Structure 1
Amino acid sequence: MTTDGFAPAKINLTLHVTGQRADGYHLLDSLVVFADMGDHLSLRPAARARLCVTGPMAMGVPVGPDNLVLRAAALIGVTADITLDKHLPAAAGIGGGSSDAAACLRALSIISGLPVPENVLSLGADVPVCLLARAARMQGIGERVTPVAGLPPLDAVLVNPGVPVSTPAIFRRLTRRDNPAMPETLPAWSDASELIRWLGAQRNDLQAPALAEAPVIGDVLHTIDATRGCALARMSGSGATCFGLYPEAADAAEAAQALRAAHPGWWVCAVRLS
């Protein structure tokens, strides 16, 4: 039996760093959504675990036991022959590896009939929210995931300049770790425009440290913001992927086309976020 899995790109519309535990882990408050594009997995039970990575972003992806997909398979206790068709850039702030691990867990649970293990946080802070794979509020160190119903879909462009960013390096550059959280009760947004206006008053507290670590992120944000119709430009996660939000899908598609033409070395994708 072969089962397919989809690992959508994870986008942090907001990312507030609200504290730090004694063990060093940072506390977050983040509104997370998922794109309609991502990586694809094909899995079938096998006597030995094996991972084959294909696709336009396959170069440099490890295929050994440290890969999150194989770690996820080991965690649920199922050996499988897995093909990962990689379309998301690595170390990019859009949860590529975590979403791959979550998709692997979902698929292997279907194949085996085994429940998804409870200790998925051991695979990474983004794995719990990636298991849900829909709009959610992520809090704590990633273990508190609350679905957010009624979030208006957003048309967006994702842009990555091809520069991997180290998450630990970004956190080390934080000058303040006790920033305000989002409101305790999130608003009920009537449409995308209202949501975008609200997002403009929120933050990604890792954006300034990321700009210091990788100044090209500033160029990406400025370039996105200058495209016609862009209502908000922000970095996702710890970077270097940034996103622009647009009032209509046609505006996002036009912006993506212009960005690709002007910056052929950048990874650019028009998406719907929901």
Structure 2
Amino acid sequence: CVHGVMALSTAGYESIMVNCNPETVSTDYDTSDKLYFEPITAEHVVRALESASDGPVEEGVVGAGAGTSAFGWKGGIGTSSRLLPESLGGYTVGVLVQSNFGGILQIDGAPVGVELGRHAYSAQVGSAQVGDANDADAQAPDYDPRADEQEWGSVMIVVATDAPLSDRGLERIARRAIMGLARTGSFASNGSGDYVIAFSTANRVRRSTIGGVHAVDDLSNGSISPIFEATVEATEEAIYNSLFKAITVTSNGRTVEALPIKETTDILRRYGVIR
């Protein structure tokens, strides 16, 4: 629907987008001239809580991840977590992502996107690294962001931890999740509405609405850095998992291919990432 609206805009038409689904967030308000969506009600919240379950989270082309793409390949849902040793607090950090963005895919430093020939600005720089003007095609077409699917999309990242963090501390770890996103090759393009939500499950951070003065636990600044590292690592790995678990999808006459596993692992071996 986004590309349809963009085509209408290019043709000079105004557009109104109506989303018939309840929506908690929207990452692109400026594609259409007006946007309407169903509000979240108390019944929706109760239904979500009652249907929630524990155990492993299904990854890949599931839920909202069914219509996403990342780095030009099929994206989806991905998860990862880190458990800190007791010497660093013993806290757990879990990350869930919905990968939907562009960039130049790299895995542990290996330029996978460049090697596979599918990445942002590939038509302008060919197989050369971005900035390597000597190898770029002098006849490359001018860049048109509206025609580049990797310019658009928005990754959604949820960070959960049992560390007793205040809203300030949670905002700080949310910012570190973006560092994990950058490790994968994203540069947060102009058309990308990436965002992070972070929360703590620690009961000791809850604020009471009754009584007078009350105390809450709040992890000190000097003890939060290990959680930063865990957040960066888990975010990076969750994005890779979303790609490796995805499958090729065809819908409405459009096919989005899954990341080719064999070719990718061959590249990783060639660059010494795996053996």
TM over 0.5: no
Higher share in helix: 2
Give me the TM-score of the superposition, normalised by structure 2.
0.27
Higher share in strand: 1
Give me the TM-score of the superposition, normalised by structure 1.
0.27
Q: Radius of gyration: which is bigger? A: 2
